Amino acid sequence: MRRRPRSHRPKFLPPPGQARREGHRRYNRTRRDPDAQAIYDSARWKRVRALKIDADPLCEVCEREGRTTLAAQVHHVVKVRDEPGRAYDMANLMSVCRSCHARIEDRDGSGG
Ligand SMILES: [Zn+2]
Ligand SMILES: [Zn+2]
């Protein structure tokens, strides 16, 4: 049996151009209102969310910036808290990766 030469390359190489300012993430999910939380917990939301990820499996923010990243979460453009009626509206949803989502939520300061 042949022994594989040990590689000194790190297993994880960040893709070039990937933003390096991930250090200051403060993803604050403490101030969720109960109505919004009920929507997030609902079977309907889970279904819509899965549909959205299925339709747009890539992070839409990364895509816009020329990166290809798998979406991990679904973001509400208009907050559930602001317009609960749009919680399941596909046109109001965005597929996002974790870091883009954290960045978006950090910027506008609310969950969703
Ligand atoms: Zn992204
Ligand atoms: Zn969001």
Q: What is the pLDDT of residues 17-49, one digit of tens each?
A: 544 444 444 444 445 578 899 999 999 999 999
- Are the C-beta atoms of residues 35 and 45 closer than 8 Å to each other? no
Tokens standing for residue 50: 């899965």
| Contact of 17 with 92, CB cutoff 8 Å | no
Predicted confidence band of residue 14 (pLDDT cuts 50, 70, 90): low
pLDDT digits (tens, 9 = 90+) for 66-94: 999 999 999 999 999 999 999 999 999 99
Distance 92 CA to ligand 1 centre (A): 17
Q: Could you tell me where the DSSP H helices lie in the chain? A: 34-41, 43-55, 60-64, 98-108
DSSP code for 70: B
Surrounding residues of ion ligand 2, Cβ less than 5 A:
75, 112
SS3 for 75?
A: strand
CA dihedral 56, 102, 78, 33 (to 10 degrees): 120
Please state the pTM of the whole predicted model. Answer: 0.67
Q: Which-ligand-closest: CA of 96?
A: 1
For the cut 90, the answer to whether the pLDDT of residue 107 exceeds it is no
